[in-house]
Amino acid sequence: MTTYRNPKIVTGSVVRHGNSILLCRRAIEPSKGLWTIPAGYLEIGETPEEGAMREAAEEAAVPITITGLLAVYTERIGGRVLLFHRARLERPCFAAGPESQAVALFRDDQLPWDQLAFPSVRWALLDEQRPGGPFGNPDDSPG
């Protein structure tokens, strides 16, 4: 019998409203109390875009519009593939869901770089500021 070990798929989005980005302060471990983009595990039967929209609704109580694929990152050690999208927030009306302590809009020049939950969040925020894509792991990432 062959046993397969497959990666988990994470989906999420960098949600923009004008010159600001929506971030969620995590209410759960790992990285409780740190800021992240709305993201989580893809569920069976949903597309990555549907999963990203669901995660935004669960974590920030907000509907979003997906505008394109931002990046595909690989965490070899953690066994995850992360599909992050570019998204737009139509109205700045949001609230913390059960997995978030707080939700806030940060202007590009006020992003909490020293309080980000995961390396992949940093990568996504940096890649979101670049034209083009989709992007992949940075050259200096452990992947």
Contact between 63 and 56 (Cβ < 8 Å): yes
What is the dihedral angle through the alpha carbons of 41, 44, 45, 51, rounded to the nearest 10 degrees?
Answer: 0
Per residue in 14-49, pLDDT (tens digit) is: 999 999 999 999 999 999 999 999 999 999 999 999
Does domain 14-128 fall under CATH 3.90.79.10? My reply is: yes
Residue boundaries of the structural domains of the chain:
14-128
What pTM was estimated for this model as a whole? Answer: 0.94
Per residue in 82-104, pLDDT (tens digit) is 999 999 998 889 999 999 999 99
